[in-house]
Structure 1
Amino acid sequence: MFSVDTYAPLDVPKQIDDNIWIIDGPVIGFQNFGFSMPFPTRMTIVRLSGNRLFVH
């Protein structure tokens, strides 16, 4: 089985620049063709002009 380190704290916005935040989430299991591996999750938020947000 694979091991994946996470970046604490989870589920908390971490500001990495004036208009960019990341939110690390839990590790989920990914299964395909009988093969299983961990898959870390992360969301990125970017504040655009006019206070619009881009969420990835």
Structure 2
Amino acid sequence: MTSGKAAKILGVATSTVTAMCERGEFSGAYRPGKWWRIPLAEVQRKRQPRKPEAPRE
């Protein structure tokens, strides 16, 4: 999927998704030209809520 569609799903700006791609945060993301392509499974993985951390005392 495009970085724009991924941004909508994740609720972030397209520039944020582009930066995430450049940092290698999406496994399998590639850039066949000007725009990034990101596997749907990777976007869904990022969308899943993280487990809350244990409270610090």
By the TM > 0.5 criterion, same fold? no
- Normalised by the length of structure 2, the TM-score is 0.22
Higher strand share: 1
RCO higher in structure (CA 8 A, sep ≥6): 2
- Normalised by the length of structure 1, the TM-score is 0.23
Pair member with larger Rg:
1
Higher helix share: 2
